[in-house]
Amino acid sequence: MVLRTRFTFAILMFLAAGFVYASDTVNITGRVDRNQVTAYDRITYTLTVTASTRSIPEPVPPDFNGFKLLGTPRTSTQFNWTNGQVRNTRIYTYSLQAKQEGTFIISPAKVTFQGQVYQTTPVKVTVTKPGQASSGGTTAEADVENVAGQNLGNLFLRSVVDSETPFV
């Protein structure tokens, strides 16, 4: 009987220690793939929520002022349980299109967990006129001008399939 009581006590202490040391935390980050674009270019905003719990609270997405949201966000989830430690990550990917030129601030995304609000830092994006090169790349017009050193102007591409039943 004493052995059974000690065993039960040991199991309860082990479980209690796990609950004491397993602090529930949440981390939320937001970033864009480029901070400078031209008007009507597309950018990707990635919102990542990581929690040390089995379920991740739903975030409130940021206000994409100055950008058009293209479709619904794509989501992916990663769940990892190692040595009793839980790490759960959900990634939301938003495709955005710049509406007009100017400097825009993507407001913070927020998530509420156990009564506490966590938020991302605001993201600054500069949108320039179409036809101007943005940092990290060139515009399509500049690419057309650089083909074989000639200005091709408007480019027309035609593709013809030579089979009546093409394999896709």
For 101-124, write each residue's pLDDT tens digit. Answer: 999 999 999 999 989 999 999 999
Q: How far apart (Å, rounded) are the C-alpha atoms in residues 16 and 101?
A: 57
41, 21 in Cβ contact below 8 A? no
pLDDT by residue (tens digit) across 57-82? 899 999 999 999 999 999 999 999 99
What does the DSSP assignment read for 100-125? SSEEEEEPPPEEEETTEEEEPPPEEE
**How confident is the model at residue 139, as a pLDDT?**
43
Residue with tokens 């939301």: 92
Query: Which tokens in the block code for residue 113?
Result: 């967990």
Q: Over pLDDT 70: what percentage of the chain? A: 67
**How confident is the model at residue 110, as a pLDDT?**
96
For residues 9-14, average pLDDT: 50
Residue with tokens 């830092």: 121
Q: Which residue has the higher pLDDT, 121 or 149?
A: 121
Residue with tokens 């009793």: 84
Query: Which tokens in the block code for residue 140?
Result: 């399509």
Residue 48: pLDDT band (50, 70, 90) is very high
Beta strands at 123-128 and 36-38: parallel, antiparallel or unpaired: parallel
